[in-house]
Chains A and B, each alone.
Chain A
Amino acid sequence: MDAEIYLDNNSFIHRLDPRTKIITFLLTFVAILLFQDPVWMIPVAVLILLQLAVSGSFKNLRRIRYILIVLTVSSMILWNFFSSGETPLFWVFEVESFYYSIARTALMILMISTGMILISTTRNEELVLGMIRLGLPYRVGFAISTSLRLVPTIASSTMTISQAQRSRGLDLDSGNLVDRIKKFLPLLVPVFISTIRNTNIFAMALESKGFGAREDRTFYLNLKMQKADYYVLAFAIIFTVASIVFAILGYGKISGLTSF
């Protein structure tokens, strides 16, 4: 079972310094958050799509496609409840709130995508080292990367466990919502227990290899900023600053929208 998130593709984005990728990731978040109007989100969306294509990360998005579809549908509806506009469309939908729900949905999907690009193109160790070089303490960086590392482990044990329970006659595909949630209990308990057990051994193995033995530690990986890194960073900064300026000037708002 291949459950790794990191994709060993060696694309242009893979070769960038992790610091560049982390900073770009944070800047992209800012740029995504600035506008209410979906039209104004098109530039950043295009850039993210381009990165997805270059790095080959579509593969990972496809693996979570069901989650993405559920999020999209529910967000397209829910945001209409949490905002209102002036031009009625039907039911709780108004033209303005509908636009707004498109923007909010895009925001969520884009954030997931940009996060996915970061972890699909950056090794765990590079990510930690990048965060440390940017000033985070080692233990914090390590904790973040460990939680990312847990995802594939949990996913693959969930697979095995659901097979075990299905062969005992558990039918996960029928019944109403409450029924289905109840049916997940036989999966959750073993998943929790095996995760806790794995984490325990993981912690023992860490300590047994001298984790935290010295104040300083060296890194076998060597990070070097290349020319391409500076170009990418410069572009990301200019793009974000420009977006901020437009936002301050009042562009990208939906007139007549009240949101809560």
Chain B
Amino acid sequence: MTESIVSIKDLQYRYRGQKEYALDGINLEMPRGEFLVIMGPSEAGKSTLAATINGLIPHFFKGKYVGEVSVMGRNAKENSVAEMAEVVGMVFQDFEAQLFSTNVELEVAFGPENFAVEREEIGRRIKENLEYVGLTAFGHRPPSTLSGGQKQKLAIASVLALKPQVLVMDEPTTDLDPISKMGVFEITHRLCKRDDLTLMIFEHETEEALFADRVAFIHDGKLVKIGPTREMLCQVEMMEEMGVMPLGIPRFFKMMGAAELPLTPEEGVKAFQASGWKVDEAAYQKTVSAENADLAKRDKPVIQCRDLEFSYNPEVQALNGISLEICEGEMVAIVGQNGSGKTTLAKHFNGLLMPTSGAVTVDGLPTIDQGVFKLGQRVGYVFQNPDHQIFSETVFDEVAFSPRLRKMSEKEVKQCVTEALKAVDLVGFEEEDPFALTKSGRQRVAVASVLAAKPDVLILDEPTTGLDYAEQRSMMNMVRRLNENGSTIIFVTHHMWVVAEYAKRVFVMKGGKVILRGSTREVFSHGDELAEAFLRPPHFVEFSNRLGHTFLTPDEMSDYIEGVQE
């Protein structure tokens, strides 16, 4: 265990053309077989650090490089990226762009081919690695037909085929739904048991760090803290300060003043039972009925679907008989696995897609009679990736795009833009170049540019994907504010904690059908049905479910506890 596999000494790095150091004095030694999770907010230097391990920095990205990175004694600066590939495997966040072969087997073969491995041996490695990640049955399928989780598994297999000593994964599960995430992490758990492989994962999903040997936090290009997993994950306040999501369970026990902080739902249930605390049953029931009464009050439907069916081509039915109503002033989440039809459904609400059979009405009129241009004024749609819609040179022009298309006078345009920017906290950024903003900034511009058309209903497709915890919070707080000011909000998401904390009502989709619907609390109390839809409530909700009540946040639960010794 004494020999260091990965060794980083006084590493400093600055991208060309930037003033700030992206990495500022990193020192790290990793023994053979260690599993290290590195967490930190956006722009902290996670991806930059990941790219230094196999030499993408300084070879691919040019800049000022001081210090030394070596893996198995190979210096990352003196060896080319291709040479480093023999010892370091790298898996990227974007699973679409990192696969390029036309079938699964050839994708795995690509790496070994580059190192002139014999054909028979390549065949063996393909078989072995596809078995390892559970994709044997898909050997001849084109990667483009796989689901997101399968693609990421394939990416892992194709890297493992090189027999690397070190595997680096840069946010491998950020874009995946909860169960695909678990599938990928199930693989990493098996990998970390192999003592010949040293594993380094960059993440901001805290629940997945539980299996690591050590956890490190990175902030402003510095390794702020590194230590054993349990010790690190109990530092609730520090994590919150750094913009990393703390686990709900230790957070709850910390709020309750417990000395020992449990981490997992199992530990939480045990600790709760040992503490002698009780949930105030009467108060809980009162809250539940108040919530239901509140939902029942909303009875002016804006969007209605009747037996909605839709298919992209005759073979695949994407939506399969959906009937639902969304009322004015609601805040609704649509959840489901990748490919369950949630985005397809949402695209029917503003007329981007028209039903193959059945009907969708907005304000009582079928979408088919209104068309996307007219509906756009009533129902705004924010696409998942802000880079799919930004094209202007200034934030102002970008946001003004929609009002100008609708032939408003320049004065009205100005007012619309000002209001929209105010709603997303971007006042003062009018003359900035939108492409120079951070991802969360661009996401806000995208929301503002949709808000500028003054829609009453706002659909957000994955509004929090690719943002860090603090950014996700501020984005969703902003959305909640819009809702409180009267907008009807519909959002599609993978982030279950976002649903738990922000949605009032939830639709769970699977195979083009809505299989579960109701108030957020009610939906999250059905753990089994959620698992059937390949979803999973956050650890904290699971913990409260096991105690017989469904609480959505630690703060909420702490108000209902009796029997605490002061």
Contacts and interface: CB of A to CB of B under 8 A. Distances in A.
Given A203-B60, A220-B122, A169 B92 contact: no
A6 interface: yes
Interface stretch (B112-120, B206-214, B283-291): B112-120
B388 A161 contact: yes
A205 B352 contact: no
Interface string B388-401: 11110000000001
A180 interface: no
Nearest to A214: B116
A188 B106 CA distance: 33
B557 to A, nearest CB: 39
Contacts of A169: 373, 376-377, 401-402, 405-406, 453
Nearest to A168: B402
A209 B60 contact: no
A156 to B, nearest CB: 9
Contacts of A187: 391
Contacts of A152: 144
A198 B59 CA distance: 19
A151 interface: no
A117 to B, nearest CB: 17
A255 B80 CA distance: 63
Contacts of B469: none
Contacts of A210: 82-83, 85-86, 111, 114-115, 162
A87 interface: no
Interface string A198-219: 1001111111111111101111
Interface stretch (B94-102, B418-426, B529-537): B94-102
Contacts of B350: 167
A149 B101 CA distance: 9
A137 interface: no
Interface of A, helix, strand, loop or mixed by DSSP: helix
B63 interface: no
A171 B81 CA distance: 46
B79 to A, nearest CB: 10
Interface stretch (A16-24, A28-36, A41-49, A189-197): A189-197
B56 interface: yes
Contacts of A221: 106
B89 interface: yes
A172 to B, nearest CB: 10
A4 B92 contact: no
A209 B114 contact: yes
A214 B90 contact: no
B110 interface: yes
A213 B86 contact: yes
Given A125-B106, A204-B60, A207-B85, A217 B114 contact: yes
Contacts of A2: 144-145, 313
A164 B388 contact: yes
Nearest to A123: B102
A209 B162 contact: yes
B85 A190 contact: no
Nearest to A221: B106
Interface string A217-258: 111111000000000000000000000000000000000000
A218 B125 CA distance: 14
A149 B100 contact: yes
Nearest to A5: B102
Interface string B139-160: 0001011000000000000110
Nearest to A161: B388
A63 interface: no
A217 B453 CA distance: 56
Contacts of B89: 208
Interface string A152-188: 1000010011011111111100000000000001111
Given A124-B101, A125-B101, A164-B383, A217 B113 contact: yes
B450 A211 contact: no
B163 to A, nearest CB: 11
Nearest to B405: A169
A221 B107 CA distance: 12
A144 interface: no
A3 interface: yes
Nearest to B312: A1
Contacts of A86: none
Given A167-B350, A167-B372, A186-B401, 9 more contacts: A4-B102, A160-B385, A167-B376, A169-B373, A169-B453, A207-B60, A209-B111, A213-B114, A218-B119
9 contacts: A3-B144, A160-B383, A186-B401, A202-B98, A204-B51, A204-B98, A205-B99, A207-B60, A213-B85
Interface of A: 1-4, 6, 8, 123-125, 146, 149, 152, 157, 160-161, 163-171, 185-190, 193-194, 197-198, 201-214, 216-222
- Ordered nearest first, which 9 A-B pairs have the shortest CB separation? A189-B391, A210-B85, A213-B82, A220-B109, A205-B98, A201-B97, A210-B114, A208-B90, A207-B81
